[in-house]
């Protein structure tokens, strides 16, 4: 009797887990022409492959758990050694989702570059550089940046990265730069582009152990002919291990999570709290609030546990599909070893136009999102660029796309620096059949929706988290990026703000670092209700005659064309 029940239980368990793996294939590997999965042509072949992946999981997962346990024990020993060596200055190991960004090579350091233009305020008694330096140092010593990762330095010993408290930012972290010709009264866009290329991949201060460097221009810039006030460029170089895009915007805005204060029921006479049932209403309100808080926490923990179970179940299968069955990108913007020399491009709006345009499109197309439209415009612009440069157009290029993980975080009075995101692979269409903008939008939106449904985000999130216990040389081995063309980031930026609450910011751009063999980074930011797009390309991927600027310049054109097609006679 017990044997029969045992067999039934095993069969049910195997069937359920096989369905789980089939679910992974259907959600994360739908587009078989992007993988070597043409053999999965019917339900039987999919089931056989899912069963094979399941058997691999059954064997591999216990081994991975054993490795993690051994690494955790070794990591604990390293912690004791480092704590004894540095005492109070030791601030623990670098977090798992930050470690991946410290695994880098000299030709592609993981440094996010942000460019701000700040407006000189009338009546300033000090230079812009002195004003900025004083504001930052005050914030790191007395304000919301005190005792944060920003004032730490990172080091590596015995296979792990760790933080040391330096107390404050050094003078090397906040410096002033001038034009190549000191006689110039202004810096122009060409000069600024050269400075960005010159500084972007340099080591960070103190032999590349500090998390940031801020470079303030000595001269104002000629940015717009209509400018009536002086604007000064500030280049902010932040190591990606410090935090994600939201953390960086919090840093330059010097604004942490706002603390939500609990509402209280007030009355003109405090003694009346016991009258007219007000006290009981307050108790009821507090009980409801506590109940809602418990429900929210329970929901978040359930999400986290579910995400972790997905990771445990599908990690081996994800590794197989992404590393062995996914083909390498073949196109003119991918392939050679990176040189370390970067070229910067940008496109900015003078007035609010594209953000309202996309809002109109979202109202027109049910179920669409912001990224559907901006990715379509990027896709069309890249298609135009490839058409001019080569006869062999790729069907897709692969973009590494981040998304923020919505596990609830504790709120704090200080700016929180963390990489709270995961990545997945986006198939950006380039060559499509029936090449109309409407068809390109449909294909791009399809890929976007598949990306949002993918469980790869959960797998990659926990994979990045467990980097904390794995020695660095193993992390380096597992994260060799050689198959993909670009990093793509689309962020909702802040509204108008002042840099460290002292100088108004008039323009804001950022660029992603290159990594491995991925030498292209595309960014789009909405700041102050305007579009700010950036492109960074390693110089190994193009010649002097290539006009990469047109990739960004054509995006507004295609967004306007898309609006005309959607609102015109060709309705979706």
Identify the DSSP state of 185.
Answer: S
Q: Which residues pair with 532 in a beta bridge?
A: 348, 525
Distance, first Cα to last Cα, the chain? 60
* Contact criterion met (CB below 8 Å) for 335 and 483: no
CA 278, CA 339: separation in Å to the nearest integer? 70
Q: Looking at residue 343, what DSSP letter applies? A: E
Residue spans of the domains in the chain: they are 288-405+419-567
**Interstrand relation of 160-165 and 90-93 (parallel, antiparallel or unpaired):** antiparallel
pLDDT of residue 46: 65
Q: What is the DSSP string of 541-571?
A: G--TT--THHHHHHHHHHHHHHHHHHHSSS-
Q: Which residues of 433-458 are buried (b: 16+ CB within 10 A; e: fewer)?
A: eeeebbebbbbbbebbebbeebbbbb
- How far does CA 11 lie from the centroid of its chain? 42
Burial class (CB in 10 A: 0-12, 13-18, 19+), 248: buried
Cβ pair 427, 398 in contact under 8 A: yes
Phi-psi region of 141 (alpha: psi -120 to 50; beta: other; left: phi over 0): alpha
pLDDT of residue 307: 63
Per-residue pLDDT, 297:
62
Using DSSP's 3-state secondary structure scheme, residue 410 falls into coil
CATH architecture classification, 288-405+419-567: 2-Layer Sandwich (3.30)
Residues 201, 111: Cα–Cα separation, whole Å? 7
Strands 396-404 and 421-429: antiparallel
Dihedral sign from CA coordinates of 388, 390, 395, 399: negative
- Round to whole Å and give the CA distance between 283 and 304: 31
Render each residue's pLDDT in the chain as its tens digit; 572 residues. Answer: 544 566 666 666 666 666 665 555 565 555 445 554 555 566 666 667 667 777 777 777 788 888 889 999 999 999 999 999 999 999 999 988 899 899 888 888 999 999 999 998 887 888 999 999 999 998 888 888 888 899 999 999 999 999 999 988 988 999 999 988 888 889 999 999 999 999 998 999 999 999 999 999 999 998 877 777 899 999 999 999 998 887 788 788 765 433 333 333 333 333 433 444 434 444 554 555 555 656 666 666 666 666 666 666 667 667 666 666 677 889 999 988 889 899 999 999 988 999 999 999 999 998 889 999 999 999 999 999 999 998 889 999 999 998 876 545 544 556 778 888 888 889 999 998 877 899 999 999 999 888 877 777 777 887 788 888 888 887 776 666 678 899 999 988 788 888 888 899 999 999 999 988 899 999 999 998 899 999 999 999 988 778 899 999 999 999 999 999 988 654 44
pLDDT in the model for residue 62: 83
pTM of the model: 0.83
To which residue do tokens 């008039």 refer? 506
pLDDT of residue 488: 95
Q: In what order do the strands lie in the sheet with 160-165?
A: 90-93, 160-165, 152-157
Sequence-distant (6+) residues with CB within 8 A of 206 are 153, 170, 172
């Amino acid at each position: 009797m017990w044997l029969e029940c045992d067999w039934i239980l095993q069969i049910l368990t195997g069937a359920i887990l096989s369905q789980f793996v089939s679910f992974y294939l259907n959600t994360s590997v739908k587009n078989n022409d992007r993988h070597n999965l043409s053999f999965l042509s019917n339900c039987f072949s999919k089931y056989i492959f899912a069963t094979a992946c399941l058997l691999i999981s059954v064997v591999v997962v216990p081994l991975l758990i054993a490795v993690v346990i051994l690494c955790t024990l070794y990591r604990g020993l390293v912690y004791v050694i480092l704590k004894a060596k540095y005492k109070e200055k030791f601030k623990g190991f670098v977090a798992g989702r930050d470690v991946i960004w410290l695994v880098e090579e000299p030709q592609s350091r993981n440094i996010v570059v942000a460019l701000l233009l700040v407006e000189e305020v009338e009546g300033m008694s000090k230079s812009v550089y002195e004003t900025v330096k004083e504001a930052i140092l005050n914030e790191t010593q007395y304000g919301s940046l005190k005792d944060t990762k920003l004032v730490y330095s990172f080091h590596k010993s015995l296979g792990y990265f760790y933080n040391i408290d330096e107390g404050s930012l050094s003078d090397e972290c906040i410096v002033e730069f001038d034009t190549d010709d000191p006689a110039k009264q202004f810096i122009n866009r060409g000069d600024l582009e050269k400075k960005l290329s010159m500084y972007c991949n340099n080591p960070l201060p103190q032999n590349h152990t500090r998390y940031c460097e801020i470079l303030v221009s000595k001269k104002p810039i000629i940015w717009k002919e209509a400018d009536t006030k002086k604007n000064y460029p500030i280049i902010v170089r932040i190591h990606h291990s410090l935090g994600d895009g939201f953390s960086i915007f919090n840093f330059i805005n010097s604004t942490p999570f706002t603390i939500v204060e609990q509402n209280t029921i007030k009355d003109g006479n405090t003694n009346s709290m016991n009258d007219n049932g007000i006290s009981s209403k307050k108790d009821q309100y507090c009980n409801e609030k506590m109940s809602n808080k418990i429900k929210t926490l329970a929901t978040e923990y359930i999400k986290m546990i579910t995400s972790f179970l997905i990771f445990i179940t599908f990690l081996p299968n994800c590794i197989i599909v992404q590393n062995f069955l996914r083909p390498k990108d073949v196109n003119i913007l991918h392939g050679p070893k990176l040189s370390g020399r970067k070229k910067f491009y940008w496109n900015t709006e003078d007035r609010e136009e594209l953000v309202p345009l996309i809002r109109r499109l979202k109202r027109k197309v049910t179920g669409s999102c912001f990224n559907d439209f901006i990715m379509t415009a990027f896709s069309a612009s890249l298609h135009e660029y490839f058409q001019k440069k080569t006869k062999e157009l790729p069907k897709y290029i692969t973009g590494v796309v981040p998304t923020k993980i919505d596990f609830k975080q504790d709120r704090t009075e200080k700016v929180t620096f963390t990489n709270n995101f995961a990545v997945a692979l986006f198939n950006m269409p380039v060559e499509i059949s029936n090449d109309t903008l409407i068809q390109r939008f449909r294909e791009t939106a399809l890929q976007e929706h598949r990306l949002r449904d993918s469980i790869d985000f959960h797998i990659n999130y926990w994979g990045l988290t467990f980097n904390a216990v794995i020695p660095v040389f193993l992390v380096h081995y597992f994260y060799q990026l050689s198959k993909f063309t670009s990093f793509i980031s689309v962020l909702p930026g802040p509204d108008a703000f002042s840099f460290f609450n002292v100088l108004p910011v008039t323009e804001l751009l950022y660029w992603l670092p290159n990594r491995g063999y991925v030498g292209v980074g595309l960014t789009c930011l909405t700041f102050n209700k305007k579009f700010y797009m950036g492109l960074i390309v390693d110089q190994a991927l193009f010649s002097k005659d290539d006009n990469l600027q047109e990739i960004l310049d054509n995006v507004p054109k295609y967004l306007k064309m898309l609006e005309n097609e959607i609102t015109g006679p060709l309705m979706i």
